[in-house]
Amino acid sequence: MNTNRTEPRLALQQIGHRGLFRHAVPVEWGGTGGRFADMVEAHIWKGRECLDPGLILAINAHLWGSVFPLLRFGNPGQKQKWLRGLIEGVLIGGHAITEPHSGSDPSAMETQARPVPGGFVLNGVKRYITNAPVADLLVVYALLESKPSAFLLIPEDPGLTVTTTHATVACHNASMGEIHLQNCRIHSDRQLGKKGAGLSMIQSALEWERAFIFAGIAGMMEWQLEQVIDFSRKRRSGKDHLGRHQAIAHRIADMRIRLDTLLLWLRECARLADEGKRITMASAQTKVIASEAFLQSTLDAIHVLGARGLDEETGMASWLNDAAAGRLFSGSTEIQKNLIAALLGTGEGYKSR
């Protein structure tokens, strides 16, 4: 597989220097001022070029976890201090929502922010945080007087430790870590957004993430499909090449249908975002379709390639862990279906992520 792998922080910085974080960001902050539609195409291209689900995850954690929350909820001083660096890729960001006892339901968070003169003292643990070991800025969610709220933390903050325990076997090239906050003292200017706005800020960040995180994966799925088609034409079984057998041809057709469905959804989310419309329903639907498509097409690709699908050289099998993770991060398939049902006025409540 033609992967282009470098150390996670450096890889993200290089991507930033090449302008991938500038799309759909106003010109005044160093963005292109362009459209989400352009961003989707750039991410598809990037996925195809890097063939690296970990890098795709890291890019999206940076963008939707830190750049867009800061853009949307940051005060002028906070934007001035961090935004341009994040957009240029000089600084790397991410967001910390998940905790040992709070995953799908962020309202169960236990991390506390206690007000003290001039600032806050934070205590708690965040787990499975993409980019945590390489981040310069993290948006961390905590309860401020029982109300979910957001804070900007930097690795130098006293009382903040990042460990690499509880990393996953998926998305290998994204660095992942656990954040321990032990009497972590920060200045009052580090509160992001309003007290008590934490859950709606999480919802907003995850809506963007769900809508666009699979754009890079779609680029990888294009490559995956080409590999399978190529193999099915060259490999012979009986008197014919493999693709002449209907069972194989249908698998390949299904891969194409899934990929094109995903591309339609990604472009629909971009259209809605560019028109300033809500993407809550569309992004939840995109996330379900995309994550299930990536997993099933990876299984199909491995199957059509036969034992070669499990060769390290093809790299196809390693995507199975990544695809399994894709059904969990940014809110699992079940949570998206709960959300869609709630938006339709049925099912479990809307509070889960």
Ligand X SMILES: Cc1cc2nc3c(=O)[nH]c(=O)nc-3n(C[C@H](O)[C@H](O)[C@H](O)COP(=O)(O)OP(=O)(O)OC[C@H]3O[C@@H](n4cnc5c(N)ncnc54)[C@H](O)[C@@H]3O)c2cc1C
- Footprint on this chain of ligand X (rule: CB under 6 A): 57, 61, 94-98, 103-104, 128-130, 168, 170-171, 325, 328-329, 331-332, 334-335, 338, 348, 352
Residue whose C-alpha is closest to residue 134's, from 11, 51, 23:
11
Catalytic residues: 209
Minimum CB separation of residue 254 from ligand X in Å reads 24
Q: Please give the Cα distance from 155 to 160 (Å, whole number).
A: 7
Minimum CB separation of residue 250 from ligand X in Å reads 29
Name which of 291 and 352 has its Cβ closer to ligand X.
Answer: 352
Name which of 43 and 327 has its Cβ closer to ligand X.
Answer: 327
Neighbours of 32 (CB within 10 A): 17
Q: Please give the Cα distance from 199 to 351 (Å, whole number).
A: 8
What backbone phi and psi angles, to 5 degrees, belong to 48? -65, -35
Q: Please give the Cα distance from 214 to 265 (Å, whole number).
A: 10
Q: Please give the Cα distance from 317 to 323 (Å, whole number).
A: 10
Minimum CB separation of residue 348 from ligand X in Å reads 6
Neighbours of 264 (CB within 10 A): 12
Name which of 68 and 128 has its Cβ closer to ligand X.
Answer: 128
Minimum CB separation of residue 12 from ligand X in Å reads 13
Name which of 98 and 280 has its Cβ closer to ligand X.
Answer: 98
How many angstroms separate the Cα of 95 from the Cα of each of 141, 273, 289, 333, 334? 8, 22, 24, 20, 22
Name which of 118 and 349 has its Cβ closer to ligand X.
Answer: 349
Minimum CB separation of residue 103 from ligand X in Å reads 2
Name which of 174 and 255 has its Cβ closer to ligand X.
Answer: 174
Minimum CB separation of residue 219 from ligand X in Å reads 18
Q: Please give the Cα distance from 221 to 123 (Å, whole number).
A: 41
Kindly write down the DSSP assignment for every residue of 62-113, as one continuous string: HIIIIIHHHHHH--HHHIIIIIHHHHHTSS-EEEE--BTTBSS-GGG---EE
Residue whose Cβ sits closest to ligand X = 103
DSSP E strand boundaries for the chain: 93-96, 112-116, 119-130, 137-144, 147-153, 160-163, 176-187, 191-192, 236-237, 240-241
Minimum CB separation of residue 55 from ligand X in Å reads 12
5 secondary structure, DSSP code = -
Describe the crossing of helices 53-62 and 36-50 by its angle, rounded to 10 degrees: 150
Name which of 96 and 305 has its Cβ closer to ligand X.
Answer: 96
Grouping H, G, I as helix, E, B as strand and the rest as coil, residue 347 is: coil
